[in-house]
Amino acid sequence: MGTPEAGAGSMKATIKIISALIAFSAAFPSTASAENCGAIPFGPERRACAMREHPAMFEAKFGQCRQLARKRGDTSHTQTGAGGMKEFIQDCMHGKQR
């Protein structure tokens, strides 16, 4: 089988190679780690995926919809108790301003 020193040297080389591969893979994340939201069917899962991938875009849109609702004079509740502002913001986020 060889000398014990040769086995120890081989083991150190193997550990160095494995360590380098782990460091390399952590430094360059694969494209598999990014979600492909377009491949998910329309619905709450796809929306949640898009929110995870682009949180700043959703915050900006939410802020615009809230500002538009306030300009319209919507409040958190209508006279009947239904959520006027909430419903408008939800519709606005879906692109359905009334």
pLDDT at residue 18 in the model: 78
pLDDT at residue 60 in the model: 93
Q: Which two tokens stand for residue 55?
A: 């949180």
- The pTM for the full model equals 0.50
- State pLDDT tens for residues 37-77: 888 888 888 888 988 998 999 899 999 998 988 888 877 66
- State pLDDT tens for residues 87-98: 888 888 888 766
Q: Domain extents for the chain? A: 55-98
Q: How far apart are CA 83 and CA 69, in angstroms?
A: 12
Q: How far apart are CA 17 and CA 30, in angstroms?
A: 19
